[in-house]
């Protein structure tokens, strides 16, 4: 009988891309995908360890999934991804319904692990690799819109940010063969996709020096953008210490490279940045923002901020706020520091900012960002912006929605357009999350 797999994905875009690789590997091994969890023989949960609350949420979800197993003993449950890598065999002690534990570099083994689990044994593979990039695998697209997709260009991370669990759960950095990246993007474009986001923990350190090719990230980006002017290209994540003027110039040269850069600052205080081992200063970060504004005047900039890192004082916190205000970020992802076992900060620094102080500072960061985001959207009112249509609006089938090059969501009345069309939209007003307008040119 044909086995069916159902996969649930938590965490970052990289995990979304990985789930597509996982489904491809299982499809090649004869599995079909189940649209409904109740029809699945194999339930996979692709997990995230970035903060404690991410893990707690997944444990709660696993509990709920365990009920299915109580009803049908034949179901196999697999925990894969970052949490599997972090906890290894311990997962099996925490949840006796889990049958498979597989880390981010052992997905090729999943068919074997499934067979082992089916024969009644717990199956674990959490080996990390220096080479695995799944370069030859054509991911099975799991997204619904068929317009935009993620393409992984590298795996792992060699930066040792003191707070971060990623290098431990995803291993060391390795770049993917550029030929296979271009092949994958070409296939996406030919099957109707109009936007790709190139993914890596630190895309600026992409490097391929083999087979007579010597390619850094700027060159790769340029090659991808050269596939077709109708293909939008995004990328994530840049590291402030590595983002180069050369890259900024490349972005400015191509209309189809989106004018948006996600540049996580984490903190505005030099003392905290040093403690975080970020390898740049506030001044360096500001210089990079100035360079973006100089080379790409219409570029939007987003960031990540952490509140309440070890020893953070009110003065450090104020430095984060003034940096945000100065940079005028278009949007941000904002977090309370969460100590992760085994990281450098967990080993060397005390998680000594009280929870209520972390929360208060986070609230201040969020309300400042809300003000900046509103300002950023207000500035777009009256402009005509190019929008790539992604789908119907969530609220109504009479409206469609897409994004600008700057990654802002735009909603407008549907006059018979299609997903994947480019339209020019006159922005008439904005809400807290969205720009609203009407199409002036199709």
Residue corresponding to tokens 């590291």: 239
CB 267 within 8 A of CB 306: yes
CB nearest ligand 5AD: which residue? 304
Q: Can you give the three-state secondary structure of 360-387, one letter per residue? A: HHHHHHHHHHHHHHHHHHHCCCCCEEEE
Here the tokens at position 253 are 């040269």
Query: Measured from the CB of residue 63, what is the shortest distance to ligand 5AD in angstroms?
Result: 24
Binding at 77: pick from ligand SF4, ligand 5AD, none (beta carbon under 5-8 Å per type): none
Cβ burial of 154 (10 Å; 0-12, 13-18, 19+) is buried
Q: Quick check: helix, strand or coil at residue 183?
A: helix
Residue 166 or residue 257: which is nearer to ligand SF4 going by CB?
Answer: 166
Q: How many residues does the chain have?
A: 442
Quick note: the x/- pattern for ligand SF4 over 133-172, rule CB under 6 A, is: --------------------------------xx--xx--
Binding at 221: pick from ligand 5AD, ligand SF4, none (beta carbon under 5-8 Å per type): none
Q: Tell me how many residues contact ligand SF4 (CB under 6 A).
A: 13
Is 197 a binder of ligand SF4 (CB under 6 A)?
A: no
- Give contact residues for ligand 5AD (rule: CB under 6 A): 50-51, 163-164, 264, 266, 304, 306, 335, 337-338, 340
CB 186 within 8 A of CB 178: no
Binding at 163: pick from ligand SF4, ligand 5AD, none (beta carbon under 5-8 Å per type): ligand 5AD
- The Cα 293–Cα 291 span in angstroms is 5
- The Cα 153–Cα 217 span in angstroms is 9
CB 192 within 8 A of CB 230: no
- The Cα 14–Cα 36 span in angstroms is 23
CB 362 within 8 A of CB 308: yes
Query: Measured from the CB of residue 335, what is the shortest distance to ligand 5AD in angstroms?
Result: 4
Is 49 a binder of ligand SF4 (CB under 6 A)?
A: yes
Residue 91 or residue 423: which is nearer to ligand SF4 going by CB?
Answer: 91
Query: Measured from the CB of residue 339, what is the shortest distance to ligand 5AD in angstroms?
Result: 7
Residue 263 or residue 299: which is nearer to ligand 5AD going by CB?
Answer: 263
Is 126 a binder of ligand SF4 (CB under 6 A)?
A: no
Query: Measured from the CB of residue 340, what is the shortest distance to ligand SF4 in angstroms?
Result: 9
Kindly tell me which residue out of 44, 50, 123, 135 binds ligand SF4, with binding defined by CB under 6 A.
50
Kindly tell me which residue out of 58, 62, 65, 82 binds ligand SF4, with binding defined by CB under 6 A.
82
CB 317 within 8 A of CB 339: no
CB nearest ligand SF4: which residue? 11
Here the tokens at position 299 are 């570029």
Q: List contacts with ligand SF4 (CB under 6 A).
A: 11-12, 14-15, 48-50, 81-82, 165-166, 169-170
């Amino acid at each position: 009988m044909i086995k069916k797999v159902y996969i649930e994905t938590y965490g970052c875009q990289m995990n979304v891309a990985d789930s597509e690789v996982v489904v491809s590997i299982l499809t090649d091994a004869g599995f079909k995908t189940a649209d409904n969890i109740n029809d699945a023989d194999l339930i996979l949960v692709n997990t995230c360890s970035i903060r404690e609350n991410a893990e707690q949420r997944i444990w709660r979800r696993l509990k709920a999934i365990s009920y299915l197993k109580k009803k049908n003993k034949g179901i196999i449950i697999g925990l894969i991804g970052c949490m599997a890598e972090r906890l290894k065999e311990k997962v099996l002690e925490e949840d006796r319904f889990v049958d498979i534990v597989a880390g981010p570099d052992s997905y090729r083994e999943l068919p074997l692990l499934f067979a082992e689990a089916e024969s009644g044994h717990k199956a674990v593979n959490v080996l990390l690799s220096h080479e695995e990039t799944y370069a030859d695998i054509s991911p099975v697209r799991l997204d619904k819109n068929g317009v935009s997709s993620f393409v992984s260009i590298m795996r792992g991370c060699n930066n040792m940010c003191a707070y971060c669990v990623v290098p431990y759960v995803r291993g060391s950095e390795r770049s993917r063969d550029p030929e296979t990246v271009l092949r994958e993007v070409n296939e996406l474009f030919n099957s109707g996709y109009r936007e790709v986001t190139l993914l890596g923990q630190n895309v600026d350190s992409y490097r391929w020096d083999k087979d007579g090719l010597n390619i850094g990230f700027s060159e790769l980006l340029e090659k991808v953008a050269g596939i077709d002017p109708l293909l939008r290209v995004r990328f994530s994540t840049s590291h402030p210490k590595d983002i180069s003027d050369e890259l900024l110039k490349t972005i400015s040269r191509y209309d189809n490279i989106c004018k948006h850069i996600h540049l996580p600052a984490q903190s505005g205080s030099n003392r905290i940045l040093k403690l975080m081992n970020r390898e740049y200063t506030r001044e360096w970060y500001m210089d990079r923002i100035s360079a973006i504004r100089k080379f790409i005047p219409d570029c939007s900039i987003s960031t990540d901020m952490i509140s309440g890192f070890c020893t953070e004082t009110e003065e450090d916190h104020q430095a984060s706020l003034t940096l945000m205000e100065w940079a005028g970020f278009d949007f941000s992802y904002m977090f309370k520091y969460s100590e992760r076992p085994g990281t450098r900060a967990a080993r060397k620094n005390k998680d000594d900012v009280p929870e209520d102080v972390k929360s208060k500072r986070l609230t201040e960061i969020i309300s400042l960002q809300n003000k900046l985001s509103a300002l950023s959207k207000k500035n777009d009112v009256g402009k005509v912006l190019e929008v790539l249509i992604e789908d119907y609006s969530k609220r109504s089938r009479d409206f469609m929605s897409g994004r600008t090059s700057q990654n802002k969501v735009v909603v407008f009345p549907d006059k018979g357009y299609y997903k994947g069309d480019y339209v020019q939209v006159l922005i008439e007003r904005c809400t807290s999350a969205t720009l609203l307008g009407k199409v002036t040119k199709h």
